[in-house]
Structure 1
Amino acid sequence: MNERERARRPGGRSARVAAEVHQAVTDLINERGYGNFTVGDVAARAGVADSSIYRRWGNLATLLTDVALTRLNAQSPMPDTGSLAGDLRTYAAQVAREITGPDGLALLRLAVALSSQGHQGQQAGDDLLAERTRQLQSMLDRAVERGEHAPDALSVVDHILAPMYVRVLLGIGPLTPEYVDGLVDRLLVTSTR
């Protein structure tokens, strides 16, 4: 296998390095908080050279954005239960599990921190919201195709995701199944008016 074929092969060393670097970022955010580590710290934690990180991501802000977007895309697959209510309940429960899981708080803090870091940070925040909105819209479009009345994606963010994110970020009570279902119920009632 020549070098060009090796570079195109999915997975392999490149995917392992990216996963190790992403995990190193998440661990460092958990331990030190946003803004309290460098590319060198990430490289040391991941067991790679600084130059590997700079070559692939260019700078720390781009790496952090990639971590947030990659984790967002890997999490919360859009359910297809056959009804909007079922899809929203399943999706909300998945998000609640993720953001209360081992890396959930770190990823939420990363998203918040990125969005407040100048133009590049604002772009990262916009990219995160755009990706989440795109994912939600696919679920909402399916509901409309089935003949259901569906809210817009931003309403899902406002009524379901934002309250959960705020509770986790501020450490306000658990995200019980009853609480999460209540968020979905309120959105469904509001969107049918």
Structure 2
Amino acid sequence: MTALQSEQPLAEITMARIAERSGVHLGTLYRRWGSVDGVLLDVVSERLSARSPVPDTGDYANDLREYARQAAEDLAGSEGVLLLRTLVSVRLGDGGSLPPALSRRFDELQLMLDRAAARGETVPTSEDVFELVIAPLCASLLFGTDPPPVERLVERVDLLAAHAADTEGK
């Protein structure tokens, strides 16, 4: 699938082309995945499942910095484009849910924040983390711009931590 995606635009990939390229009968592909989106979701899920787990260093700020670095790596290059385009296509196409591997990543983020809160650390919401760390990476893929450097994402994480601490103190 990766080779096929590098040869032609994602929108032009068909089940027939996947069958031809993979040597798998077209009927088998339709029975197993149902559509190109189904195949793409499986590819994306496999790639996300192979990623490192969300960090647990015992310190929220360090965990979140490492999370930002991992997110930047996950969304870098052609794999990030494939991930984002697949998710947009599937979400807009049928309003489906996130692939299990991505859903698991969000659950792991919440678990990381919950662990930090249980240690008495002040933490932002997972939505805040998404808006400041993940959204800029996705926007750079959508608009074809260079992603923000990991250092800038780390600065945002630090600002987020400071803001959460200020908010809790009020």
Fold agreement, TM-score > 0.5: yes
Aligned to 1:11: none
Cα deviation, residue 76, structure 1:
4.8
Q: Is the 8 A contact 1:80 1:139 kept in 2?
A: yes
Q: Which amino acid letter does the alignment assign opposite residue 90 of structure 2? A: L
Asked if 1:93 corresponds to 2:69, the answer is: yes
Cα deviation, residue 128, structure 1:
7.2
Cα separation, 2, equivalents of 1:47 and 1:55: 15
Q: What is the TM-score normalised by the length of structure 1?
A: 0.73
Question: What secondary structure is seen at the aligned counterpart in 2 of 1:169?
Answer: helix
Give the alignment of 1:99-178 within 5 angstroms.
99-117=75-93, 119=94, 122-125=95-98, 130-178=103-151
Q: Is the 8 A contact 2:55 2:67 kept in 1?
A: yes
Q: Is the 8 A contact 1:78 1:139 kept in 2?
A: yes
Cα deviation, residue 174, structure 1:
4.1
Q: Is the 8 A contact 2:13 2:36 kept in 1?
A: no
Q: What is the TM-score normalised by the length of structure 2?
A: 0.82
Query: Structure 2: 5+ residue runs without aligned partners?
Result: none
Cα separation, 2, equivalents of 1:94 and 1:144: 21
Cα separation, 2, equivalents of 1:152 and 1:126: 22
CA distance 1:181–1:43, change in 2 (3 Å): same
**Aligned-pair Cα RMSD in Å:** 2.4
Q: Between the two proteins, what is the percent identity of the paired residues?
A: 37
Moved more, 39-48 or 123-132: 123-132
Cα deviation, residue 110, structure 1:
1.7
Asked if 1:181 corresponds to 2:162, the answer is: no
Cα separation, 2, equivalents of 1:94 and 1:135: 13
Cα deviation, residue 123, structure 1:
0.9
Cα separation, 2, equivalents of 1:129 and 1:102: 17
Aligned to 1:17: none
Asked if 1:65 corresponds to 2:41, the answer is: yes
Aligned to 1:84: 60
Question: What secondary structure is seen at the aligned counterpart in 2 of 1:115?
Answer: helix
CA distance 1:165–1:76, change in 2 (3 Å): farther
Q: Is the 8 A contact 1:78 1:135 kept in 2?
A: yes
Cα separation, 2, equivalents of 1:56 and 1:39: 12
Ranked by relative contact order (alpha carbons within 8 Å, sequence separation 6 or more), the top structure is 2
Structure 1 segments of 4+ aligned residues over 6 angstroms from their partners = 126-129
Cα deviation, residue 126, structure 1:
7.8
Q: How many residues align?
A: 166
